[in-house]
Structure 1
Amino acid sequence: MKAPVTHEVTPREGFLPIKTNAFDRGFIGVVLGIFLHLLWMRFLEQAIPLWVCTILAVAIGIYIIKRG
């Protein structure tokens, strides 16, 4: 007779609502960066250069990869 299988439940540590690995978080960061650039070009590029958005997108991507 087999013993019942038990699963250890560990609390999720990141802020993303799904279980992810580093590749998933990197992909989310890239998609978010593209989205930020499109919004930036539509609304803010007249006043603030696009390289500011690039720096912001890279910083957010690094944060998502490390903490997500």
Structure 2
Amino acid sequence: MMAGFQPQKTERDGFLPIRTNGFDRGFISVVILILVHLLWMRFLEGVLPLWVATVLCLALAVFIIRKG
């Protein structure tokens, strides 16, 4: 091991009820994106286009990855 090298703590506590790292938060965001898109296509696609769901999910994903 190199002198003076200290590994960074990658897991952290956020608003999610579990300790997560960046990959965990990204995976949770993708699962939510898929779920929201499936529900959107079933119930709301006749009223609002699918790109609205994409924009909302991407904004939610950024929030989860940064703060989760």
What TM-score do you get using the length of structure 2 for normalisation? 0.81
**Following superposition, which runs of at least 4 residues in structure 1 exceed 6 angstroms of deviation?**
none
In structure 1, distance between residues paired with 2:61 and 2:36: 11
What RMSD over aligned residues (CA atoms) do the two structures have, in Å? Answer: 1.0
Q: What secondary structure, in the 3-state scheme, does the structure 2 residue paired with 1:48 have?
A: coil
Q: What is the distance in 2 between the residues matched to 1:59 and 1:30? A: 12
Structure 2 unmatched ranges of 5 or more: 1-11
Structure 1 partner of 2:33 = 33
Q: CA offset at residue 13 of structure 1? A: 4.0
Provide the identity percentage.
Answer: 63
Deviation at 1:31, TM superposition (A): 0.3
Higher Rg: 1
Q: Which residue of 1 aligns with 2:45?
A: 45
For residue 38 of structure 1, report the CA deviation from its aligned partner: 0.3
Aligned counterparts of 1:33 and 1:13: Cα–Cα separation in 2: 22
Structure 1: 5+ residue stretches without partners: 1-11
Offset at residue 59 of structure 1 (A): 0.4
State how many pairs are aligned.
57
Tell me the SS of whatever aligns to 1:65.
Answer: helix
Using the size of structure 1 for normalisation, the TM-score is: 0.81
